[in-house]
Structure 1
């Protein structure tokens, strides 16, 4: 299938402000993840992301996105592996820490090394160890598609959720 723009079509200009767009996006409740990796020099990198989603079951693919201006862009763009850690309901402080700037995000954080060296954070409800399969630059972000090499989950945990700029915990209906 060809992109619409190659057929002479393009999107209409937005009829909303960036603030309205951000507020509207915030109405979609998401899980909260921390994406982690280790550079070739062994440095730990990690950031909070709620742009995680599944792509394919066969092969097993997931995606997440990162601002082109992120300080960790080079580490993720050039690395071969990363891990996506799906946070548990009691890990809000960890989500806030890995979203903060100018702090040591890793101080006191417990983790184990995944099969390819990417850190797997303790206490998460799920982890996905990914090969950095492909990247797509779109707008002000880069979309990373990871091929899942290993995954694990806990049956006894509830996920941390994010909606409308606030954190929530799961409450079954």
Structure 2
């Protein structure tokens, strides 16, 4: 989940593709669709948090992935150092600043410069594959 604060209110969106880009300097990347109504507000904020959800947080993913309404109504969160929402129960919080935005077909490629990283919980990540939630077996 990508979260930010825009005009004093929390905003968030489910992210389809996210990756670590560079260790030195620390960069991450994600690719929001051009049709996203939330991405322009996150872009305007200039800072964001990537919340890596745990396998038991499907309800949070559903809440943040829906269109319209108050996505944060039933989601427990606290502000990160950069002010963006850190979603409770996440296995990682990555705070970043928007550094570059590149064209990517029907998406934009966002490169964020990492400012903070915290791993508050040791749990399996939530995955979404072929239209369904999935886990990692091993």
> Would you say the 8 A contact 1:89–1:170 is kept in 2?
no
Deviates more, 1:137-146 or 1:82-91: 137-146
The structure 2 residue matched to 1:144, chosen from 100, 110, 115, is 110
Tell me, yes or no, if structure 1 residue 99 matches structure 2 residue 65. Answer: yes
Once the two structures are TM-superposed, the CA of residue 101 in structure 1 deviates from its matched residue by 1.6
RMSD in angstroms over aligned alpha carbons? 1.3
- In 2, Cα distance between equivalents of 1:163 and 1:67: 18
Which has the higher Rg, Structure 1 or Structure 2? Answer: 1
Higher helix share: 1
- In 2, Cα distance between equivalents of 1:51 and 1:125: 17
Unaligned residue ranges in structure 2 (runs of 5+): none
Partner of 2:5: 38
Partner of 1:27: none
Unaligned residue ranges in structure 1 (runs of 5+): 1-33
Tell me, yes or no, if structure 1 residue 80 matches structure 2 residue 31. Answer: no
Once the two structures are TM-superposed, the CA of residue 56 in structure 1 deviates from its matched residue by 0.2
> Would you say the 8 A contact 1:134–1:146 is kept in 2?
yes
TM-score by length of 2: 0.94
CA gap of 1:161–1:44, structure 2 versus 1, over 3 A, is same
> Would you say the 8 A contact 1:66–1:142 is kept in 2?
yes
TM-score by length of 1: 0.76
- In 2, Cα distance between equivalents of 1:90 and 1:106: 17
- In 1, Cα distance between equivalents of 2:103 and 2:39: 12
Aligned length: 138
Partner of 1:30: none
Give the match's secondary structure for 1:71. Answer: coil
- In 1, Cα distance between equivalents of 2:38 and 2:67: 11
CA gap of 1:155–1:42, structure 2 versus 1, over 3 A, is closer
> Would you say the 8 A contact 1:35–1:49 is kept in 2?
yes
